[in-house]
Each structure stands twice: as C-alpha cells, then as structure tokens.
Chains A and B, each alone.
Chain A
Amino acid sequence: DIQMTQSPASLSASLGETVTIECLASEDIYSNLAWYQQKPGKSPQLLIYYANSLNDGVPSRFSGSGSGTQYSLKINSLQSEDVSIYFCQQNYDSPWTFGGGTKLELK
C-alpha cells in the first residue's frame, strides 16, 4: 500500500495568515492526490483533486500544488471557518490511502 505522510500534525496560525500543509507519498502518485477538509463534528469534504484542481464551491484562497511524491495545500488569508482537520489522499493505486491529518487551529 502507498503510505501518505502529512506534516505538520498540528498547526496554529492567525487570521489573515498564509499556511501550508505538506503531504509526502511513499512512491510516485503522478498527481493523483486529493485534499479533504473536515470541520469539527462534520464529515470530510473534497477540496482539491488531481493535486491542483479546486472542487466546485471551494474558495480561491485554497490551492494545491506538487508532483511526484511531494504535494502541498496552501491557504491564503486564513479565515475563522478554515479551522479544520485537513487530510491528503492518494487515488493512484488501490487501496486508496490517506495521510494522518493536520489539525489547523487559530492562534
């Protein structure tokens, strides 16, 4: 199975700040990388797919990048509603696997 390693595990940032979350795959996943946002007490929601494509309705302050084994999620101008856990997931090879999550809190 492909292992997905996310960093950091937790992150504290101020309103308006830019934050970046990293995701490392154990092998090349050819940009088959998705990001999900899970707000407190809610189900995960698809934010980004194929490394850099925004899902419908996702604010443009979210962006994804990367290739090969290294990927990142960037949130510009952090808003209070962005407080969530963020997960990466590879959809290159089944079984699909997820990163351990990054908990984003407000400072």
Chain B
Amino acid sequence: KAGVTQTPRYLIKTRGQQVTLSCSPISGHRSVSWYQQTPGQGLQFLFEYFSETQRNKGNFPGRFSGRQFSNSRSEMNVSTLELGDSALYLCASSRQDNYGYTFGSGTRLTVV
C-alpha cells in the first residue's frame, strides 16, 4: 500500500518567486492537510481539504493557498516567496475525520 507521496523532495527558490508543491494521499483517503515545520515555530497547520473543499485554514497570509482535485491529490502554492518561508512542508492524509493522520516525507523549501 503506497503511502503519502510529496513532490518534489527539495526546492531552492529565489525571493519573490512562487512555488507549487504536490501531495498524493493514500488511496481512499479524502482528507488532505498541509503543515509547515520550522525550527523556531515547530509544526503549524496551513489548511485542510476534503472532497475538493477547503474546510479549515490556519493563520497564514494569503500568499499561501491550496487546492484539491477530484482524485484527492492536493497542491499548495506560495506566491511572492520570502526568506521566512524556508521550511519543511508536510502533507498528511486521513481516511475519515479524526481517524488519525499519515504524513508524507515532506518537501524541503529553501528561499534564497
């Protein structure tokens, strides 16, 4: 059984650029969540999607956005990158509400 797949694994971008990260959940999982992990702030919730609808959003600026497709795959986009956006971005999927989450290996984004 395939796990949660995140691509790419590593990214280096320049300030001001935009970036798109991809997440393929476990087959049959309809809920996909995104988290940002930094040494200073730890793991912070970005947003959660279920059946192509954003159900929850964390306290991040509008430069952070996401979407979910009909096959449950999800993408998140960060526009006008800032140095502080450098982080490990983790995606998690769940079979049903509050049933426990499975995480991917993450995308390491470095903004220079």
Please say whether chains A and B are actual partners in one complex. Answer: no
Interface residues of B (CB under 8 A from A): none
